[in-house]
Amino acid sequence: MVDDLVRRLARFERSYFPKYREEYRRLVKEGQHPRTLFIGCSDSRIVPNVLTGTGPGDLFVVRNVGNLVPPYDPAGTDPGLGAAVEFAVLNLHVRDVVICGHSHCGAIRALYEEEPQALRDMPQLARWLDHARDAVLPVTVSEEALRRTEQRSVVLQLERLMGYPAVAAGVANGAVFLHGWHYLIEEGRILVLDIESGKFVATDVVMGAAKHGGDAAAFQLQ
């Protein structure tokens, strides 16, 4: 496995980096200026730069199990996500903050398991998943319920983000916009949260609204 990883590193050095050498050097010289903070799941099937068609320097990425946002707590024992949010908003001055959930999320499914042996063996993971528990529906688990819960969790995490002073201030003054996405892996589609209706809609609906002079604010929290 290590040999395979080293071969991949060598391929990056030989094949990929030369194509973007000048871009990387510019980013070193001028510093990074990403426009978007992308908060996504650690799931290996989620590749932020592929989803957004972006390259080096375009995204500031934070990933964790379940794309979760803990409640704001300046004295908390795990300030990792909060530190990234503050740095992105206050130092990098990102304009857009995305919470990207996805279908078939193991974190969401685990919330419906009555006595998951795996979680008993992973107490830190069990505690982490509490940040999504309010999204659980009082129904028998089904694929439809899981998709709805994944979307409900995205909304929940957006609400939590608004508890972070840097984000709240940025949204209030129009410098920061929040976006909720739900990536359907098996379909290759991303549904976008319509803030006004509370529903997740297809990207062609968003594009159509913009094309016909619709209010773009409907799809971003501002």
Please tell me whether residue 87 adopts helix, strand or coil conformation: helix
Beta strand extents in 20-114 (DSSP E only): 36-41, 59-64, 96-102
Q: What is the pLDDT of residues 94-109, one digit of tens each?
A: 999 999 999 999 999 9
112 and 172 share one domain: yes
129 and 207 share one domain: yes
Q: How far apart are CA 132 and CA 209, in angstroms?
A: 31
Q: How far apart are CA 49 and CA 217, in angstroms?
A: 24
Which residue is catalytic, options 43, 131, 147, 182? 43
Residue 10's pLDDT is: 94
Average pLDDT, the chain: 91
Task: Output the six-digit token pair for 71.
Answer: 């409640």
57 and 104 share one domain: yes
Does the annotation mark 41 as catalytic?
yes
Adjacency order of strands within the sheet including 59-64: 59-64, 36-41, 96-102, 177-184, 189-194, 199-202
Check whether 6 has a pLDDT greater than 60.
Answer: yes
Residue 122's pLDDT is: 85
14 and 36 share one domain: no
Is the separation of the CB atoms in 51 and 36 below 8 Å?
no
Please tell me whether residue 59 adopts helix, strand or coil conformation: strand
Which residue is catalytic, options 14, 35, 63, 105? 105
Residue given tokens 């982490």 in the structure block = 128
Residue 118: pLDDT band by 50, 70, 90 thresholds?
low
Domain with 99 in it: 32-219
166 and 198 share one domain: yes
Residue 28's pLDDT is: 96
53 and 24 share one domain: no
Does the annotation mark 127 as catalytic?
no
51 and 120 share one domain: yes
Whether the CA torsion 167, 169, 171, 173 is positive or negative: it is negative
What is the reported pTM? 0.90
Q: Identify the CATH number of the domain in which residue 182 sits.
A: 3.40.1050.10
pLDDT over 70 percentage in the chain: 91
Is the separation of the CB atoms in 120 and 113 below 8 Å?
no
23 and 63 share one domain: no
Which residue is catalytic, options 21, 33, 45, 93? 45
Does the annotation mark 194 as catalytic?
no
Q: Identify the bridge partners of residue 184 per DSSP, sorted by sequence position.
A: 189
131 and 202 share one domain: yes
Check whether 174 has a pLDDT greater than 80.
Answer: yes
Task: Report DSSP state, residue 15.
Answer: I
Check whether 67 has a pLDDT greater than 60.
Answer: yes
Residue 213: pLDDT band by 50, 70, 90 thresholds?
low
177 and 140 share one domain: yes
12 and 62 share one domain: no
Q: What is the pLDDT of residues 119-161, one digit of tens each?
A: 778 889 989 999 999 999 999 999 999 999 999 999 999 999 9
Check whether 220 has a pLDDT greater than 70.
Answer: no
Is the separation of the CB atoms in 102 and 182 below 8 Å?
yes
Check whether 2 has a pLDDT greater than 80.
Answer: no
Domain total for the chain?
2
163 half-sphere exposure, CB direction, 13 A CA radius: 12
Which residue is catalytic, options 100, 102, 131, 147? 102
96 and 116 share one domain: yes
